[in-house]
Amino acid sequence: MPASRRIGRPRPPGGKPLKLRPELVPRPLWGISAYRLLKRGAAWKRIRAEALSKSGDRCALCGAAGPPPGFGDARLYCHEVWRYDDRNGVATLRGFQILCAGCSSVAHLGRSAALGYLDETLAHLARVNGIPKAAARRIFDVGMEIWRERSGKPWRMAVSAALLTAHPELRVLVGQGAAPAGPATRKRE
């Protein structure tokens, strides 16, 4: 596997890059995040406020300011953007972006599927990217394959130098991680 694989590559039919893609968190990293480690305190609130300001209080990917079609949740979520180095088992926090409920469900597509929201989430993935729902389903299937591979190995976390300079409190993430706990399986619908 290449050093880093991104779901949605190669490009879908039509050749345009995906605006929105799932970013499935490897199982050994479940529950470890800036949001949780900073305990929703002042540092997290500052990070979220900066991301909201940067996005103009809208979803950074689809532009929604309220609930997208198929979702009743009008909240905007501060999403952590990670890059996964598969060769070295390092997940690096690269930034933050504001997502609506629909785009957040796509980012966490495996969780959304496990909670029974796969159809709505695939519809949102297709709508935002302008692709057929069958292509969105294939993106999900590929994403789950990558997730299973990634979940079968140990991971540790890093934070980009730019983020550490801007937010030194993110150092709490550096070195976090774990070995796989067991077989990587997830209920599929």
Residue type, 188: R
**Residue range 26-36: mean pLDDT, rounded:** 92
Q: What is the pLDDT of residues 54-86, one digit of tens each?
A: 999 999 999 998 777 777 777 899 999 999 999
Burial 115-124 (b: 16+ CB within 10 A, else e): eebbebbbbb
* Whether the Cβ atoms of residue 78 and residue 110 lie closer than 8 Å to each other: no
Residues paired with residue 90 on neighbouring β-strands, in sequence order: 85, 156
- The pairing of strands 155-159 and 77-85 is unpaired
Would you say residue 2 has pLDDT above 90? no
The pTM assigned to this predicted structure is: 0.84
